[in-house]
Amino acid sequence: MLIDLHVHSSRTPGCSLDPAEAVARAQALGLDGICFTDLDTLGGVEELHALREKASIAVLVGMEAVTNHGHFLCFFPDPAGVRPEEVLGAEAPTARPARDVVEAVLAKGGAVVAAHPYDRDLEKPMGDFVFTLRSLTAVEGYTGTRRVNVNELAIEAADHLSVPCVGGSGAMAGYDEIGTAATLFKEPVRDEAELVRALRDGAVWAVAVGVPPRFHGDDVAARPPREERGGRRPWERRGGRGGGRGRGDRRGR
pLDDT value at position 237? 35
List strand residue ranges (DSSP E) for 50-150, in order. Answer: 58-67, 70-75, 111-115, 138-143
pLDDT value at position 224? 43
pLDDT value at position 216? 38
pLDDT value at position 210? 63
DSSP at 225: P
In the sheet with 58-67, reading across from the earlier edge strand, the strands are 165-168, 138-143, 111-115, 70-75, 58-67, 33-39, 2-7, 181-185, 204-208
pLDDT value at position 229? 40
Q: If residue 41 lies in a helix (H) or strand (E), which one and from where to where?
A: none
CATH annotation of 2-249? 3.20.20.140
Task: Supply φ then ψ for residue 66, to 5 degrees.
Answer: -95, 135
Nearest Cα to 65, choosing from 19, 102, 18?
A: 102
State how far the Cα of 69 lies from the Cα of 98, in Å rounded to an integer.
Answer: 6
**Whole-prediction pTM:** 0.84
pLDDT value at position 162? 97
Per-residue pLDDT of the chain (253 residues; tens, 9 = 90+): 999 999 999 999 999 999 999 999 999 999 999 999 999 999 999 999 999 999 999 999 999 999 999 999 999 999 999 999 999 999 999 999 999 999 999 999 999 999 999 999 999 999 999 999 999 999 999 999 888 999 999 999 999 999 999 999 999 999 999 999 999 999 999 999 999 999 999 999 999 876 444 443 444 444 444 444 433 333 333 344 455 544 444 433 3
Contact 70, 126 (CB under 8 A): yes
Strand pairing category for 58-67 and 70-75: antiparallel
Which amino acid would we find at residue 241? Answer: R
Torsion, Cα 113 118 124 130, to 10 degrees, reads 50
For the chain, the maximum distance between any two Cα atoms, rounded to a whole number of angstroms, is 50
State how far the Cα of 132 lies from the Cα of 218, in Å rounded to an integer.
Answer: 26
Q: Is the dihedral of CA 3, 51, 77, 67 positive or negative?
A: positive
